[in-house]
């Protein structure tokens, strides 16, 4: 392979995580005590119907205007850019596309932002995602999936990372395994 590998980074559950904020709102409104560890499925199946409806409404209109990447995330992405093309690949909801795009444009060029539902269409080599569905589909078309560890994805087998520093290490491991030795360094 002579090209730089393309690493696709998911946003929700990888770069940002609104779940804690939404659970706090549900706890306050419904008198519950949910924590992030209770989210053992991506579809929030543990919530009661009224609580789930609120959770999905909140996701549909999520605001990213107050979101920012940590110093660790920014440094890891910058390091990855030294030997990979880093592209954000995220599933949008109509209610938050503009907010999400404003957030992403602070860290990525327009050419490196893809909003789509089916991440297999983007053509990356590696997908870092928290969604079992996205990882499974990406693997089915021959891509390498890295699971970003979250309570709701413990059932996914394979390569797993726990923070942004892990991503760089796992990408280099993949490159070496694939015979890619030009790290552009």
pLDDT per position as a tens digit, 114-141: 999 899 999 899 999 999 999 999 999 9
In a domain, 31, yes or no: yes
**Residue 135: domain span:** 6-16+67-177
Domain of residue 157, CATH code: 3.40.50.1000
pLDDT at residue 185 tops 60? no
In a domain, 185, yes or no: no
In a domain, 115, yes or no: yes
Q: What is the pLDDT of residues 44-88, one digit of tens each?
A: 889 999 999 988 888 788 889 999 999 999 999 999 999 999 999
In a domain, 182, yes or no: no
- 184 pLDDT tier (thresholds 50, 70, 90): low
User: Same domain for 82 and 144?
Assistant: yes
132: three-class secondary structure by DSSP: helix
Helix or strand run (H / E) with residue 81: helix 71-81
- How many structural domains comprise the chain? 2
pLDDT at residue 113 tops 90? yes
User: Same domain for 56 and 78?
Assistant: no
Q: Measured between alpha carbons, how far is 136 from 127 in angstroms, rounded to an integer? A: 10
User: Same domain for 75 and 164?
Assistant: yes
Q: Measured between alpha carbons, how far is 113 from 11 in angstroms, rounded to an integer? A: 10
| Beta strand extents in the chain (DSSP E only) | 6-9, 85-90, 113-115, 126-129, 144-148, 160-161
In a domain, 1, yes or no: no
User: Same domain for 27 and 84?
Assistant: no
Copy the structure tokens of residue 69. Answer: 């990447």
User: Same domain for 79 and 36?
Assistant: no
- 28 pLDDT tier (thresholds 50, 70, 90): very high
> What pLDDT is recorded for position 183?
58
User: Same domain for 42 and 116?
Assistant: no
User: Same domain for 85 and 122?
Assistant: yes
């Amino acid at each position: 392979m002579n090209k730089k590998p393309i690493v696709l980074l998911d946003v929700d559950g990888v770069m940002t995580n609104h779940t804690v904020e939404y659970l706090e709102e549900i706890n306050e409104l419904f008198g519950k005590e949910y924590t992030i560890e209770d989210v053992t499925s991506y579809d929030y199946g543990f919530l009661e119907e009224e609580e789930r409806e609120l959770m999905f409404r909140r996701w549909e209109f999520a605001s990213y205007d107050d979101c920012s990447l940590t110093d660790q995330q920014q440094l890891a992405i910058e390091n990855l850019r030294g030997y990979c093309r880093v592209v954000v690949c995220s599933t949008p909801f109509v209610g938050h596309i503009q907010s999400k795009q404003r957030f992403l444009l602070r860290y990525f060029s327009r050419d490196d932002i893809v909003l789509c539902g089916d991440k297999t269409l983007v053509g990356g080599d590696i997908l870092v995602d928290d969604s079992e569905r996205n990882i499974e589909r990406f693997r089915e078309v021959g891509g390498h999936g890295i699971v970003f560890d979250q309570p709701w994805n413990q059932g996914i087998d394979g390569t797993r990372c726990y923070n942004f520093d892990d991503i760089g290490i796992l990408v280099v491991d993949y490159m070496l395994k694939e015979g890619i030795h030009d790290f552009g360094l």
